[in-house]
Amino acid sequence: MSIASHAIGDFGIIRTNPSMNICFETFGCRLSRSETLDDEAKCIAKGHQIVRNHAEADMIVVRACSVTARAQRDCEKMVAHLREKYPGKRLFLTGCIEGAKKFEVSNVSRNPDGTAKISVPRRTARAYLKVQDGCSCGCTFCIVPKFRGNPISIPFTEVLDKAKRFVEAGYHEIVVTGCNLMLYSSEGRGIADLAAAIAAISPECRVRLGSIEPGAQALDVVHALAENENICRFLHLSIQSGSDMILKAMRRPYSVKAVDAVASEATRLMPLICLGCDMIAGFPGESEMDFRLSKGLLVRHRFANVHAFPFSERPGTLAAAIVQNRILPELRRRRARDLADIGAENLRQFAKRFIGKKVDVVIEDEESLSGWTGEYLKMELSRGARPFASAMGKGAKALRKKIVRFKVVTSHMGTLYGEPV
Ligand code: SF4
Ligand code: SF4
């Protein structure tokens, strides 16, 4: 049964009952997460309560993702579960999936200039700032443009205004999200200009960029990182394959040479930058040699944050229609695991390079005083330092969202351990 046939209610706007309990379930990427956080803030501004528990909710909003068959299955399972357990509740399906509707809150209060009067989301340790949506690139494997439509960019000044409000709300890290950040364009300015402008708002607040496509513009992004110390030393490239032949079959608009150029320039300018990437294993026609090229690319540039997925046929895409030279699902999975293993080893080696150094950590969990460094390494208190957390008592709570400097004592499996200095 398709998810659309679950008939999740056919309203796109919350019109009534200003005191509904609403529960959001979010699948997918940071963009999806940022949209949920924005919707939560709008609902709160309208007088609704956000609850985490399905049983307490009057309405459950599922923001779905169907980037892979597995992601879609997980969403379908959740919807089926909710339908069965809470037949009387209002369910709303939104996001990237067949049958989804746009979730909108009606009659949001407006400023004199017509813009929506909304307090910024405050619940997460890091702020998520959506700057762009949609994509027109037409990669053969990708279903996303079907749900997200043509590219749109949020105007430069509007983005900066929201970023300022995040800073005023006490955030010390802003995560910039979009469907394809390289398509950001407003008043003649691209994503590199935007990142630099957000970073200029406050030296106390760092900026983390979502994933970007390799290519000439990516070099501008690398230079923006190098020139602005408060843009995180973390570059996630959406690479997908280390073989030019496969990139061509995927209709990706860059070559392996372009990936090499971006990765080399980044590490030349910032030797301790963390490189991440998305990879697809087992695209139709991917030979052992193509796969070896992908592995070689990960080893060559020591990609330490590797998201590797087995190729997944998404109905309606060009790649799903390719019947020749399909790779067996088991082999796709094995290759994805091999790529992930290279990434895990690179991460272990990368983390070791921080031992003895001082790092700035945005605290995510106030109980354990753990959080993330700018390089997107997990930082936890080392054993000897644990009494520090209890000694902090209530003070520890105030550290959530804040930047705390740690000295790294050791690392294990890519996680850093140390103590505040
Ligand atoms: S389909 Fe893509 S854009 Fe949509 S939620 Fe999933 S990962 Fe994000
Ligand atoms: S650039 Fe990204 S979002 Fe756009 S079609 Fe390609 S994979 Fe999909």
> Closest Cα to residue 320, out of 291, 283, 347?
283
Query: How far apart, in Å, do the first and last CA atoms of the chain sit?
Result: 56
- CATH for 3-102, options being 3.40.50, 1.20.1300, 3.30.70, 2.60.40: 3.40.50
Give the per-residue pLDDT at 4: 35
Ligand 1 centroid from CA 419, angstroms: 37
Ligand 2 centroid from CA 146, angstroms: 10
Q: How far apart are CA 154 and CA 135, in angstroms?
A: 14
By most ligand atoms within 8 Å of CB, the mutation choice from 150, 180, 183, 246 for ligand 2 is: 180
Q: Angle at the Cα of 348 (from 343 to 354), degrees rounded to 5?
A: 125
Strand partners, 264: none
- Closest residue to atom 6 of ligand 2, CA basis: 139
Ligand 1 centroid from CA 128, angstroms: 15
In sequence order, the 6+-apart residues with CB closer than 8 A to the CB of 41 are 118, 119, 120, 121, 122
CB burial string 391-403: b at 16+ within 10 A, e below: eeeeebeebbbbb
**C-beta 142 within 6 A of ligand 2:** yes
Q: How far apart are CA 305 and CA 301, in angstroms?
A: 11
> Closest Cα to residue 220, out of 180, 193, 242?
193
Ligand 2 centroid from CA 142, angstroms: 6
Q: How far apart are CA 227 and CA 232, in angstroms?
A: 11
Whether 362 contacts 125, CB under 8 Å: yes
Distances (CA, A) of 373 to 216, 225, 274: 28, 15, 10
Can you give the length of the chain in residues?
421
Q: Strand, helix or coil at 228?
A: coil
Nearest bound ligand to CA 141? 2
Per-residue pLDDT of the chain (421 residues; tens, 9 = 90+): 333 333 333 345 555 456 889 999 999 999 999 999 999 998 888 888 999 999 999 999 999 999 999 999 999 999 999 999 999 899 999 999 998 998 887 766 666 666 666 678 888 999 999 999 999 999 999 999 999 999 999 999 999 999 999 999 999 999 999 999 999 999 999 999 999 999 999 999 999 999 999 988 999 999 999 999 999 999 999 999 999 999 999 999 999 999 999 999 999 999 999 999 999 999 999 999 999 999 999 999 999 999 999 999 999 999 999 989 999 999 999 999 999 999 999 999 999 999 999 999 999 988 888 999 999 999 999 877 655 555 565 566 678 788 999 999 999 999 999 999 9
> Closest Cα to residue 290, out of 252, 256, 263?
256
Residue-wise pLDDT tens digits, 9-22? 334 555 545 688 99
DSSP summary character for residue 242? S
The atom number, within ligand 2, closest to the CA of 141 reads: 7
> What does the H/E/C string look like for 128-139?
EEECEECCCCCC
**C-beta 41 within 6 A of ligand 2:** no
Whether 210 contacts 173, CB under 8 Å: no
By most ligand atoms within 8 Å of CB, the mutation choice from 65, 141, 307 for ligand 1 is: 65
**C-beta 215 within 6 A of ligand 2:** no
Q: How far apart are CA 66 and CA 373, in angstroms?
A: 30
Ligand 2 centroid from CA 243, angstroms: 18
Residues 413, 231, 300, 344, Cα dihedral to 10°: 20
Q: Strand, helix or coil at 324?
A: coil
Residue-wise pLDDT tens digits, 283-298? 999 999 999 999 999 9
**C-beta 29 within 6 A of ligand 1:** yes
Distances (CA, A) of 189 to 152, 184, 207: 13, 8, 17
Q: At what angle do helices 256-269 and 288-300 cross, to 10 degrees?
A: 10
**C-beta 145 within 6 A of ligand 2:** yes
Give the per-residue pLDDT at 3: 34
Q: How far apart are CA 6 and CA 309, in angstroms?
A: 28
CATH architecture label of 127-350: Alpha-Beta Horseshoe (3.80)
Ligand 2 centroid from CA 140, angstroms: 9
Residues 106, 108, 112, 113, Cα dihedral to 10°: -70
By most ligand atoms within 8 Å of CB, the mutation choice from 27, 39, 66 for ligand 1 is: 66
**C-beta 210 within 6 A of ligand 1:** no
- Closest residue to atom 2 of ligand 2, CA basis: 180
Q: How far apart are CA 241 and CA 255, in angstroms?
A: 10
By most ligand atoms within 8 Å of CB, the mutation choice from 31, 131, 132 for ligand 1 is: 31
User: Domain extents for the chain?
Assistant: 3-102, 127-350, 358-420
Residue bearing tokens 């088991």 = 330
Strand segments (E) across 178-310: 206-209, 234-240, 274-281, 305-310
Give the per-residue pLDDT at 24: 96
Give the per-residue pLDDT at 373: 97
Ligand 1 centroid from CA 96, angstroms: 6
The reported pTM is: 0.91
> Closest Cα to residue 9, out of 138, 81, 101?
101
Give the count of beta carbons closer than 10 Å to the beta carbon of residue 1: 7
